[in-house]
Amino acid sequence: DIQMTQSPASLSASLEEIVTITCKASQGIDDYLSWYQQKPGKSPQLLIYDATSLADGVPSRFSGSRSGTQYSLKISRPQVDDSGIYYCLQSYSTPYTFGAGTKLELK
Amino acid sequence: EVQLVESGGGLVQPGRSLKLSCAASGFTFSNYGMHWIRQAPTKGLEWVASISPSGGSTYYRDSVKGRFTISRDNAKSTLYLQMDSLRSEDTATYYCATTGSSLIDFWGPGTMVTVSS
């Protein structure tokens, strides 16, 4: 199984910062990597697919990138509404695996 | 507008069965792969099973293989998850999701399954 090591587990950021969340895959996944945002009591929403493509309707302050087998989600000048838990997902091979999640709090 | 609505969750005793349904609308259901993902209370997300557009190919995580069956009725635009021999560790909110831009794109609101005596 492919392991997705996500970090940090939580972070608190100000509205002026650039927030970066990373997921490192245990092997190559050919950019089959998505990012999701989940708010309390709600289902996850797709933010980024194919590592770098922005999903429809997602603000341009969200972006994705890759360096080797490490994938990153960046939020530039986050808004209060960006609070929530963020997950990565590898869909290169079954069993598809999620990162453990990053809880983002905006202060 | 894409809509997915899960149903069939509830409280069930260990060893018993439950069948979840997911009613889809707003897209051509028969053209898209579908998935079940679960989330135990206060825990992260876990992929459970997937099915191809025709239903001819299915995929499962090891812990549910032989106990859960994913299926679909394209005429009714409905996805199913038959869960047999349920265990306490199957307690979770179960989401159905469709392939779109990403393999797992749009998610339903979920249905809660509690396995307890």
Tokens 């394209």, residue? B74
Report CB contact under 8 Å: A98, B45: yes
Written as six digits, the tokens of A13 are 């950021």
Minimal CA–CA distance to A58: which of A42, A41, A74, A40?
A74
Chain A hits for B105, CB-CB cut-off 8 Å, are 46, 49, 55
pLDDT for the residue numbered B103: 87
Nearest CA distance, B79 vs chain A (angstrom): 18
pLDDT for the residue numbered B101: 83
In DSSP notation, B60-89 reads E-GGGTTTEEEEEETTTTEEEEEE-S--GG
Report CB contact under 8 Å: A91, B62: no
- What residues are paired with B94 via a beta bridge? B38, B111
Q: Which residue has the higher pLDDT, A15 or B56?
A: B56
Q: Which of B42, B94, B104 to mutate to test the interface with A (most CBs of A within 10 A)?
A: B104
pLDDT for the residue numbered B100: 85
d(CA B4, CA B21): 10
d(CA A98, CA B47): 8
pLDDT for the residue numbered B3: 97
pLDDT greater than 90 at residue B89: yes
pLDDT for the residue numbered B102: 85
Chain B hits for A97, CB-CB cut-off 8 Å, are 47
Question: Which tens digits make up the pLDDT trace of B31-42?
Answer: 999 999 999 999
d(CA A51, CA A40): 25
Question: Of all residues in chain B, what percent carry a pLDDT higher than 90?
Answer: 97
